[in-house]
Amino acid sequence: MPYDASNVFAKILRGELPCVRVYEDEHTLAFMDIMPSADGHTLVIPKAPAKEIFDLSADGAACLIRATQKVAKAVKKGLNCSGIMLVQLNGAGAGQSIPHVHFHILPREEGLDLHLHGRAMRAPEDLEPLAAKIRAAL
């Protein structure tokens, strides 16, 4: 099945939908998840149209993992959490809900109950203070 340019992340990349930006470079964009499963839940996406990690070029995958590593370090430092969980799902069978490849960066602490996808939407004004801490740590 071809890439669906009407997916939410494609609309964010085109500026048709808002997001709370954390980091951006020539190849990637990182922003706060509006349905976070933990405070500080951040997403990193490639700007290239790709449904799954298998659809990215080797260079595109390298750019995505470099940005993910950079932002994950900032999440850990900026939010002072003891751990970081990285999640990357491919296909509906794996639980991927948006058909544009992405990494979830999830701040973790021992004993924290975690659902992979959040259950409630958060307002941008609630996410911005967390995003500011992460940006400051970049």
Q: How many CA atoms lie within 13 A of 71 on its CB side?
A: 32
DSSP labels for 76-121?
A: HHHHT-SEEEEE---SGGGT--SSS--EEEEEE-TT----SS-SS-
Is there a catalytic annotation at residue 115? no
The catalytic position among 41, 100, 102, 104 is 102
Q: Are 44 and 68 in contact (CB under 8 A)?
A: yes
Q: For residue 29, what are the β-bridge partners?
A: 24, 45
Q: Give the integer Cα–Cα distance in Å for 129 and 107.
A: 15
The amino acid at 129: P
**Which residues have a catalytic role annotated?**
102
